[in-house]
Amino acid sequence: MRPGINSDQTERIIQALKRAGYQATPNRRLVAELVAATGGHFTAAELLERGRRERVNIGRATVFRALELLASLRVVERLDLPSGSHAYVVCDPDEHHHHLVCSTCGRSEDIADGELARLVDEIGRRNGYRIEAHRLELFGICPACSAADTAERETLA
């Protein structure tokens, strides 16, 4: 097994494909492995780059197609970054949640609705809507990056 491969995550993605009636072709399996090895959000270009580094023979079109398929199954979710570009993040399609995304290192965490569910209902009610779905991603600086930033500033001071 190649280093950095998260086999549980890979299997989860493969199972989601099979459940939806798709075959786990070698190419899809490769993309699943590349996706599972990411530690946060990633772009198609980054997956290709990782593939090249690991000497995996996979084409650009294959990666794009597989990512689109995984996104349609909601195993990965497409993020619109504040910079205007797009990235993907590995996702759990079975449990409703949101993402906290670090703008510096790209790491991403899942967070539950909490108070948000009530607030969303309230917004719907106030406007006469029955809300059926919502999406929200939160972007910011993670604790590790905040600490690194503070340490750097103290060194400079």
Task: Give the footprint of Zn ion on this chain (CB under 5 A).
Answer: 91, 102, 104-105, 113, 142, 145
Min dist CB 43 to Zn ion, Å, is 16
Min dist CB 21 to Zn ion, Å, is 22
Query: Given the complex with Zn ion, which of 14 and 142 has the nearer CB atom?
Result: 142
Min dist CB 1 to Zn ion, Å, is 25
HEC profile of the chain: CCCCCCHHHHHHHHHHHHHCCCCCCHHHHHHHHHHHCCCECECHHHHHHHHHHCCCCCCHHHHHHHHHHHHHCCCEEEEECCCCCEEEEECCCCCCCEEEEECCCCEEEEECCCCHHHHHHHHHHHCCCCCCCCCCEEEECCHHHHHHHHHHHHHHC
Min dist CB 89 to Zn ion, Å, is 6
Distance CA 94, CA 73 (A): 10
Query: Given the complex with Zn ion, which of 37 and 102 has the nearer CB atom?
Result: 102
Query: Given the complex with Zn ion, which of 54 and 113 has the nearer CB atom?
Result: 113
Quick one: tokens of 128? 């006469």
Query: Given the complex with Zn ion, which of 59 and 82 has the nearer CB atom?
Result: 82
Query: Given the complex with Zn ion, which of 2 and 111 has the nearer CB atom?
Result: 111
Min dist CB 66 to Zn ion, Å, is 18
